[in-house]
Amino acid sequence: MKTLIIEDEKPAAQQLMRLLERSTEFNGSIEGPIESIEAAVEHLGNHGDYDLIFMDIHLVDGPSFEIFKSIEPPAPIIFCTAYDQYALEAFKLNSIDYLLKPIEPEELDRALVKFSRLYQNSESRLSADAILEMLSGSKETPQYKQRFIIKIGDRILSLASAELAYFYSADKATFGSTVDGKDYPLEYSLDQLEGMLNPEDYFRVNRKYLISHKSIADMRSYSGSRIKLELKHNDDSDLLVSRDKTADFKLWLDR
């Protein structure tokens, strides 16, 4: 199965790739991500032999449906979106499946099973004009996780996301650290949190840490063009931004 991802948010694209690679329902190659309408039109015009496309609804230069004003949809499409329930119902009625961000592995598997079942059904192809008409006057507003419910023994806490300065994994568990240095266990993995939180506020610096701007106490250049971090209320003396994330981290800092 040859699959293409059209997604302008790198963390979301990376999460989807990881989920596909781990899914028992997926067996094939993954290409992308393609981040814009313009790039997608050019790419699909030259490489239209895909079996399946995963597509975010809004790309950096506009609604992704605009792609199909220039070219015909070359393959069935599964939409990935965090918003607009009306649009999602429209996709269901048109036999187009969707995944609601943050994507859960079970939902991805169900979408892949549905794709396999409908693969030869031309009705599962996108009607761009119909979807654009359904979306006329509708604009997506990102909805990121605002609060976390935390259980400690028989106590239940409700913490606002803004109270959590960074998240980290340790001993096969995930923790959130507040701005005043208190650590709480969470029922989510860092992969899941990466898709739940606003990427303008939080950045996955490596496999162990997902941090906010307000968590940073100090930054220093390190060997191999890497960056060494010191976080507030954190004694990890070997906290480095992964080499492959350094460029994106600098862009995140400079927004």
pLDDT tens profile 190-248: 988 988 898 899 999 999 999 999 999 999 998 877 899 999 999 998 999 988 889 88
**Domain count across the chain:** 2
| Amino acid making up residue 118 | L
Structure tokens at 57: 């609804």
Count CB atoms within 10 A of the CB of residue 144.
16
178: in domain: yes
> What CATH number did the domain enclosing 224 receive?
2.40.50.1020
Same domain, 166 and 71: no
**The last residue of a domain, from among 75, 109, 135:** 135
Same domain, 114 and 180: no
Q: Can you list the positions of beta strands (E) in the chain?
A: 2-6, 29-34, 52-56, 58-59, 62-63, 77-81, 98-100, 147-152, 155-160, 164-170, 173-178, 183-186, 202-204, 209-212, 216-222, 226-231, 240-241
- Comparing 131 with 29, the larger pLDDT belongs to 29
Which structural domain, as residue segments, surrounds residue 17?
2-135
Same domain, 101 and 156: no
Structure tokens at 133: 């008409």
**The last residue of a domain, from among 88, 108, 135:** 135
CB 81 within 8 A of CB 140: yes
Same domain, 180 and 152: yes
Same domain, 167 and 77: no
Cα gap 253→255, rounded to integer Å: 6
Q: What mean pLDDT is predicted for residues 155-165? A: 92
141: in domain: no
pTM for the structure as a whole: 0.50
Same domain, 113 and 232: no
pLDDT digits (tens, 9 = 90+) for 66-95: 887 788 778 888 888 776 554 555 455 444
